Amino acid sequence: MRIREAQEVIRRTYIERDAERGLARNFMWFVEEVGEFAQALRKGSDESLRNEAADVFAWFLSVLVQAGVDLEEAFSARYGKGCPVCGAIPCRCPQRPFRYGD
């Protein structure tokens, strides 16, 4: 399934409920699912990891539908030719140490 197709399935399936909840609450559900995915990474089974990954993707698509973002188009425009900073595949940007807030 292509990203656009997945986004359309989510839109058709959940548009009414998502509209009732509103963008802010849908985003909070997405964040909660990311937390569940993090737990599955740390201690979950392969099945729970797959399920949580699918849930994160579904909630992310729901948020994007409400925000009017076509993920396939946005991703292709930003990353379709490689790294958006250096333009290379693989990325040739110098690595920086992680700092919270970057």
Q: What is the distance between the alpha carbons of residues 99 and 102, in angstroms, rounded to a whole number? A: 6
Residue 55 has pLDDT above 80, yes or no: yes
What percentage of the chain reaches a pLDDT higher than 70? 98
Write out the CATH class of domain 3-79. mainly alpha
Specify the pLDDT at position 23. 97
Specify the pLDDT at position 99. 83
| Average pLDDT over every residue of 34-52 | 95
Banded model confidence at residue 62, pLDDT cuts 50, 70, 90 = very high
Residue 102 has pLDDT above 80, yes or no: no
| Average pLDDT over every residue of 25-34 | 98
Q: Is the omega angle on the peptide bond into residue 97 within 30 degrees of 0, that is, cis?
A: no
**What tokens were used for 40?**
């599955």
| Average pLDDT over every residue of 11-30 | 97
pTM of the model: 0.87
Residue 77 has pLDDT above 80, yes or no: yes
